[in-house]
Amino acid sequence: MKKSEKNWMVLYTRSRWEKKVDQLLKDQNFNSFCPLVKTSRQWVDRNKVIEVPLFRSYLFVQADQLERSRIMQTSGVVNFISHCGKPATLDNAEIERIRTIVKNYTDIEAISLEDINIGDAVKVINGPLLNHKGEIAQIQGKSVIMVIDNINCALTVKINHRELSNANNLFLS
């Protein structure tokens, strides 16, 4: 990356500071982008549609090498995401693709499946299959297909990833 060349970089922010950091960067005349999606939240007394960041604790900023230190001094900024010791960069086309997706689709959710892989032993921590143990057979969006061994038969269940706990050496217990 040339020093004068401005690239899109990924910033890691304090939890729930994405919109604040985005505004602070814009106030400093940086080109920043925090993709927001509308979602319905229910409180005890009402339902409300609010805008939440698509990527929790992440946003994008376009800057050159010299501007990085100014960005790091912004309240709420934790660090730049790096790859092989250099800031991770995205090209304009990738940023535009994210902008288009956020603009044209309403039911979008970024889901981290970094803790769940095919072949992992898991335990159900919520719902009607509470405490059942099984193995991840397939990942389909927000859901996983899990094989549950029980009384000499295999039961395949499609379950939301949030209802699972990764359990190392689960079958040894």
pLDDT digits (tens, 9 = 90+) for 7-57: 999 999 999 999 999 999 999 999 999 999 888 888 889 898 889 998 889
Is the dihedral angle over the CA atoms 61, 59, 82, 101 positive or is it negative? negative
How many whole angstroms separate alpha carbon 117 and alpha carbon 137? 9
In the chain, the domains with their CATH numbers are 7-104 (3.30.70.940), 121-172 (2.30.30.30)
161 compared with 82, residue with greater pLDDT: 82
pLDDT at 170 over 70: no
Summarize the chain as % helix, strand, coil (round to 5). Answer: 20, 40, 40
144 compared with 121, residue with greater pLDDT: 121
Residue 69: exposure state from Cβ atoms within 10 A (0-12, 13-18, ≥19): exposed
E strand intervals along the chain:
7-13, 31-33, 36-42, 47-53, 58-63, 77-80, 82-83, 86-87, 89-90, 121-124, 133-140, 143-150, 153-160, 164-166
Q: What is the pLDDT of residue 172?
A: 35
